[in-house]
Amino acid sequence: MTAIRLDGKRIAGEIREDVAKDVAQFVASGGPKPCLTAVLVGEDPASQVYVRNKSRACEKAGIDGRTMRLPAETTQAELLSVVQGLNDDPAVHGILVQLPLPSASNGGNGGEGFDERQILDAVDPLKDVDAFSPVNVGLLMQGRHRFLPCTPHGIVQLLHRCDISASGKHVVVVGRSDIVGKPMAMMLAQRDGSCGKEVANATVTIAHSRTTNLKQVCLSADILIAAVGVPEMITGDMVADGAVVIDVGINRVNDKLVGDVAFDEASQKASAITPVPGGVGPLTIAMLLHNTLMAAKLQS
Ligand SMILES: Nc1nc(=O)c2c([nH]1)NC[C@@H]1CN(c3ccc(C(=O)N[C@@H](CCC(=O)O)C(=O)O)cc3)C=[N+]21
């Protein structure tokens, strides 16, 4: 089988157009211009690229995309007070603290390294467009979400818009991060998904680096979602014939972007697969715009 390429970039474009129309309507009806402020600490080149893409996407959607740049040596207390200031600023609807924060060896927090959890916990849950705050994670767990985390939500939108049902299927999520793996599993297992029942009601397995017999587990997946951050770790022999493969990995290897899936091999087995770049990444940004508009609506 040769897989269909799931065009995340095109679908992200559709979502961004929808958001732009909604923003225009919201503003025309007297709402404030939605404003997203990204806080970028230090000079990590990958983070700079991401933050730049994001602010360009904001402008195109009619959203005020601001970036606050702080030096790596910023202290934990200073960063907390920056977040507090954004919480208190009524003109700011969405706050995103770009991760990872600079490590101790990169001079983060004056060489001590940041307590990332404490920073993320400080973001007002109503402005938490990443959905990283424990309040929003808890609401998601209970099936009464406000914001959905951008990457898993983008994947749900992709499946929905490509008419790929997860209902009753076995989904294997490789990776258990708070940002992707855990919320992804929860969203697909839920009774009422964010796009209706077709992208919900899955039987979900979370696999990870300690999973015994990872290959066999992956081979049992109807839908295989790779979110491990290891370049091309999922090889063709781990993909069942006809499976749908979603690659969340964005790894820079010798100046080239590669996913967590060995794309060419996996394409020989899968029925559908997302490329890297042009797959899940652009959807993450589209859903961030969606959440920013939602934040502006919630606050006005
Ligand atoms: N608080 C926070 N929230 C995040 O959502 C967040 C973060 N921190 N830190 C970094 C990661 C990474 N991330 C990406 C999003 C889109 C692309 C993306 O659009 N990628 C393009 C390629 C871009 C390129 O060429 O470099 C693609 O896959 O086609 C990549 C990476 C969001 N992150």
8 is a domain residue: no
Which residue's alpha carbon is at the smallest distance from atom 9 of ligand 1? Answer: 99
**What's the rounded Cα separation, in Å, for the pair 271 and 258?**
20
3-class DSSP state for residue 141?
helix
Q: Is the omega angle on the peptide bond into residue 277 within 30 degrees of 0, that is, cis?
A: yes
Q: What is the pLDDT of residue 46?
A: 84
Active site residue 54: yes
**Residue 220 counted as an annotated binding residue:** no
* CATH for 158: 3.40.50.720
**Each residue of 193-214: pLDDT tens digit?**
999 999 999 999 999 999 999 9
Give the range of the structural domain holding residue 193, as residue numbers without chain letter: 149-281
3-class DSSP state for residue 217?
helix
Q: Same structural domain for residues 83 and 179? A: no
State which of 250, 260, 289 you would mutate to test the pocket of ligand 1, scoring each by most atoms of that ligand within 8 A of its C-beta: 250
189 is a domain residue: yes
Q: What is the pLDDT of residue 233?
A: 98
- Tell me what ipTM this predicted complex has: 0.97
Q: Where are the beta strands (DSSP E) in the chain?
A: 4-5, 35-41, 64-70, 94-97, 170-174, 203-207, 223-226, 244-247, 251-253, 256-258, 272-273
Active site residue 9: no
Active site residue 124: no
Mean pLDDT calculated for residue range 161-175 = 98
Does residue 51 line the site of ligand 1, with CB under 6 A? no
Biggest distance spanned by C-alpha atoms of the chain = 57
Which residue's alpha carbon is at the smallest distance from atom 22 of ligand 1? Answer: 277
**Residue 176 counted as an annotated binding residue:** yes
**Residue 179 counted as an annotated binding residue:** no
**Residue 246 counted as an annotated binding residue:** no
Q: What is the pLDDT of residue 265?
A: 98
1 is a domain residue: no
Domain count across the chain? 2
**Each residue of 82-139: pLDDT tens digit?**
999 999 999 999 999 999 999 999 999 999 999 999 999 999 999 999 999 999 999 9
**Each residue of 36-89: pLDDT tens digit?**
999 999 998 888 888 999 999 999 999 999 999 999 999 999 999 999 999 999
Give me ligand 1 centre to Cα 285, in Å.
7
Q: Same structural domain for residues 45 and 112? A: yes
Q: Same structural domain for residues 271 and 179? A: yes
* Percentage of residues of the chain with pLDDT beyond 70: 100
210 is a domain residue: yes
Q: Which atom of ligand 1 is found nearest the CA of 9? A: 29
State which of 158, 253, 284, 288 you would mutate to test the pocket of ligand 1, scoring each by most atoms of that ligand within 8 A of its C-beta: 284
Does residue 92 line the site of ligand 1, with CB under 6 A? no
